[in-house]
Amino acid sequence: MTAKITREDQLPPFANEPFSDFSKPHVRAAMEAALAQVGSELGREYPAYIGGQKVTATQKIRSIDPSCSSRLVGIVQDCPPELGDLAVQAALGAFESWSLVPAPERCEIFFRAKELLRQRRFEFNAWIIYEVGKNWAEADADVAEMVDFFDYYCRSMIRLNQPPELVQVSEEKNRLAYIPLGVGVCISPWNFPCAIMGGMAAAAAVAGNTVVSKPSEDAPVVATKLVELMIEAGVPAGVLNLVTGTGAALGAHLVRHPKVRFVSFTGSREVGCQVVENAAKVSDGQRWLKRVVAEMGGKNAIIVADDADLDSAAQGVTAAAFGYQGQKCSACSRVVVFDSVHDRFVEKLLAATRALTVGPAQDPSTNVGPVISGRAYEKVFHYIQLGKEEGKLLMGGERTESDGFFVPPTIFDEVRPGARIAQEEIFGPVLAVIRARDYDHALEIANGTAFGLTGAVYSSSPDRLERAAREFHVGNLYLNRKCTGAMVGRHPFGGFNMSGTDSKTGGPDYLLQFTQAKTVCAKI
């Protein structure tokens, strides 16, 4: 890639980064070597990055391995609000020059970051496995998605940089340009510590903005490694600033800062609503309304109709419910099954779930690893106890004696649509099975929550599938496949209602969130 690329047609067609095939001996050996190398580096301390400088704070945050809570992954800075202010100031100082860098030159930097991440793929996989408990395949998919984001967002910026056609008349010349907003705060979660954290920051920066990144305190080491990679690729000082700390103190302070122009947030509904509320308040010295891009979770349903391929449906529901321990905003936490096929489907669902292996994320045979933290562990078991009152426990639900935060895949049957375990986001490996009389009833149940992120329907009826496309009110609907696994460029991702602002990450319109359109009309 060179800075001479000014049009997308000068690039090869976009293609998603392939996943690693760990059944191949040389690929498996490379992953094992990366785990050993990263394992030898655990426990180190990492600075914050402000204006190109490494910065430390008095207080620290310890990041632990959820597969083995006695294992320290790394130590990062617990940055106070004052360091957040310095980061905003550094980003503000860098904005004037960075916003004037031609878009192809900005893209060249992030194309380089893509290649660096490709080269260090297994290393990043290993950090993700240690810090957030993803198994080998889930960690690899996280890194592959970030490779895609680097590539796709550069292409999107090159496309936006081409002046759109406006109506022209003889007495004037009209043009429109997409220009950056200013300083943005990116508050990212722990469940996709590479793809979401990096995707937010890269999209905002490639569009000409400067960024203050505040990752989750449960995944700060992966975030630090990715920021270091982008700096190595050539991101100038002050364009990308990293401050680690808690959401309640540091994150909330950054959202309220009068010099912040936009906030990009992924996390819970509760915190997302607070972000929207705080960003809406105009502070002294603030000259704009802050833009908020928010993705706030889901309570996603898969409908299994009486004409479904029940084997395929059982496999899809199992993967969507228990992949990464149900800790995806897209995860299936409700399966709505027609009465007439309920018993046969549940039998197949239980068989598919029993085939899963629970264990440490570092073990290549593990399907289901730990939940992220002790807090998450207790929250999930709170809902499991509630589920025992609201439904019939079919499997799972037991605590295990371990140094890790392991929750077995848990399935409740005979759950009412209005039950709390069918309405509230649990963010763990807990699935509610709900009976439906017919297709009308199934759609009513599926749409019967405050969320609207993902959903799926298994049916062989074209009419039913087309009706779902019209009436199943979610941002990402999947027909005859699982409701997780959105691919950049193929499945632009974002939800309705309390699932957020439907920003459609990995889609052709996403960079519009980080730009403003300026029209210039010149009289001839």
Residue 458: C-alpha distances to residues 429, 468, 475 (Å): 21, 10, 18
Q: How confident is the model at residue 475 (pLDDT cuts 50, 70, 90)?
A: very high
Catalytic residue of the set 131, 295, 390, 425: 295
Neighbours of 274 (CB within 10 A): 18
As separate numbers, helices (DSSP H) first and strands (DSSP E) second, the chain gives 14, 21
Q: Is 145 among the catalytic positions?
A: no
What integer is the mean pLDDT of 154-173?
Answer: 95
Q: Residue 103: pLDDT above 80? A: yes
Q: How confident is the model at residue 497 (pLDDT cuts 50, 70, 90)?
A: very high
What integer is the mean pLDDT of 317-321?
Answer: 98
What is the model's pLDDT at position 139? 98
Whole-number average pLDDT of the chain: 97
What is the model's pLDDT at position 7? 85
- CA 318 – CA 309 distance, rounded (Å): 14
* Phi, psi (degrees; rounded to nearest 5) at 58: -65, -45
Catalytic residue of the set 107, 154, 194, 329: 329
The three state secondary structure string of 259-319 is: CCCEEEEECCHHHHHHHHHHHHCCCCCCCCCCEEEEECCCCEEEEECCCCCHHHHHHHHHH
Task: Compute CA 79 distance to the chain's CA centroid, rounded to the nearest angstrom.
Answer: 23
* Phi, psi (degrees; rounded to nearest 5) at 93: -65, -30
* In contact, 164 and 98? CB cutoff 8 Å: no
Domain with CATH 3.40.605.10 in the chain: 22-296+502-523
Give the up-direction half-sphere exposure of residue 277: CA atoms within 13 A in the CB hemisphere.
7
Segment 249-260, tens digit of pLDDT: 999 999 999 999
**Tokens encoding 483:** 């409701």
Q: Residue 121: pLDDT above 80? A: yes
Give 177's strand partners: 518
- pTM, two decimal places: 0.97
| Amino acid at the residue 251 | G
What integer is the mean pLDDT of 252-279?
Answer: 97
- CA 374 – CA 372 distance, rounded (Å): 7
Torsion 159-499-310-318 (CA) sign: positive
Domain with CATH 3.40.309.10 in the chain: 300-488
- CA 428 – CA 65 distance, rounded (Å): 17
At 98, which helix (H) or strand (E)?
helix 81-100
Q: Residue 468: pLDDT above 80? A: yes
What is the model's pLDDT at position 5? 84
Q: Which residues contact 316 (CB under 8 A, 6 or more apart)?
A: 302, 456, 458, 481, 482
Does CATH number 3.40.309.10 belong to domain 300-488? Answer: yes
Segment 335-359, tens digit of pLDDT: 999 999 999 999 999 999 999 999 9
Give 464's strand partners: none
Residue 327: C-alpha distances to residues 189, 322, 463 (Å): 11, 8, 33
- Hey, what CATH topology would domain 22-296+502-523 get? Aldehyde Dehydrogenase; Chain A, domain 1 (3.40.605)
Q: Is 295 among the catalytic positions?
A: yes
What integer is the mean pLDDT of 482-493?
Answer: 98
What is the model's pLDDT at position 1? 47
Residue 193: C-alpha distances to residues 17, 168, 257 (Å): 18, 46, 24
| Amino acid at the residue 426 | I
